């Protein structure tokens, strides 16, 4: 079992896609174990996107991600890191396949609705950047054996 950090970006919140996005991960069979609507600080954004520091789109990315509320989530499940990335779709909006969140709802790469961790290491770092330990809940569901 793994944990991952998923975040509906400001464009997804503005467009009213929080429910649709949560629904997809719930219906897949993953478990929501933490969530909050929050406006992230510039410092948090720079930590979150540290690997892009120095790139030409970095400033715009940080300005965008801090421009309004995001819906930050922690999800739990088997292979949730890889499977949630598949459900999100490719970064480049021209390559995001129909059926994926970006493929179904996003037009531009810089307004691509959702972030998902790409490895166990990033997931841990990103969860710690956005959540306190007491904001994450583990609980069992009997349905789990059917998933
Ligand atoms: P990911 O969100 O699919 O994991 P990353 O490479 O981590 O993709 O990039 C983080 C975010 O930075 C992307 O979701 C996108 O919003 C933005 N981004 C990445 N590459 C570009 C680009 O070439 N132009 C504009 N924005 C970009």
- For 81-112, what is each residue's pLDDT tens digit? 999 999 999 999 999 999 999 999 999 999 99
Could you tell me the distance, in angstroms and rounded to a whole number, from the CA of residue 144 to the centre of ligand 1?
33
Q: At 141, is the pLDDT very low, low, confident or very high (cuts 50, 70, 90)? A: confident
User: What percent of the chain clears pLDDT 90, i.e. is strictly above it?
Assistant: 95
Condensed to tens digits (0 to 9), the pLDDT of residues 112-129 reads 999 999 999 999 999 999
Distance (Å, rounded) from C-alpha 90 to C-alpha 110? 12
Distance (Å, rounded) from C-alpha 116 to C-alpha 21? 12
Annotated binding-site ranges: 9, 57, 85, 91, 102, 112
Distance (Å, rounded) from C-alpha 107 to C-alpha 103? 8
Distance (Å, rounded) from C-alpha 117 to C-alpha 138? 19
User: Is it the case that residue 142 has pLDDT exceeding 90?
Assistant: no
Q: What are phi and psi of 67, to 5 degrees?
A: -80, -10
Condensed to tens digits (0 to 9), the pLDDT of residues 54-64 reads 999 999 999 99
Average pLDDT over residues 30-46: 97
Beta-bridge mates of residue 2: 77
The pocket around ligand 1, CB under 6 angstroms, is made up of 57, 61, 91, 109-110, 112, 115, 118
Average pLDDT over residues 45-58: 96
| Per-residue CA distances from 72 to 10, 57, 94, 123, 146 (Å) | 11, 22, 25, 12, 27
Beta-bridge mates of residue 130: none
User: Is it the case that residue 78 has pLDDT exceeding 90?
Assistant: yes
Annotated binding-site ranges for ATP: 9, 57, 85, 91, 102, 112
Could you tell me the distance, in angstroms and rounded to a whole number, from the CA of residue 58 to the centre of ligand 1?
9
Sign of the alpha-carbon torsion through 44, 71, 49, 111: negative
* Terminal Cα distance for the chain, rounded: 12
Which residue has its alpha carbon closest to ligand 1 atom 18? 110
Mean pLDDT of the chain: 97
Could you tell me the distance, in angstroms and rounded to a whole number, from the CA of residue 48 to the centre of ligand 1?
12
pTM given for the model: 0.96
Residue 76 known to be catalytic: no
What does the pLDDT read at residue 131?
98
Which residue has its alpha carbon closest to ligand 1 atom 8? 91
């Amino acid at each position: 079992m793994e944990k991952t950090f998923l975040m509906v970006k400001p464009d997804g919140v503005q467009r009213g896609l929080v429910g649709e996005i949560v629904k997809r991960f719930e219906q897949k069979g993953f478990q929501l174990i933490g969530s909050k609507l929050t406006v992230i600080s510039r410092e948090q954004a720079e930590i979150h996107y540290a690997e892009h520091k120095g790139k030409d789109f970095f400033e715009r990315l940080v300005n965008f991600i801090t421009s309004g509320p995001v819906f930050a989530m922690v999800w739990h499940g088997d292979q949730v890191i890889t499977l949630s990335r598949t459900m999100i779709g490719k970064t480049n909006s021209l390559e995001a396949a129909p059926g994926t969140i970006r493929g179904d709802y996003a037009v531009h790469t810089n307004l691509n609705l959702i972030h998902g961790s790409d490895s166990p290491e990033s997931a841990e770092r990103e969860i710690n950047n956005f959540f306190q330990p007491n904001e994450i809940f583990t609980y069992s569901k009997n349905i789990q054996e059917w998933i």
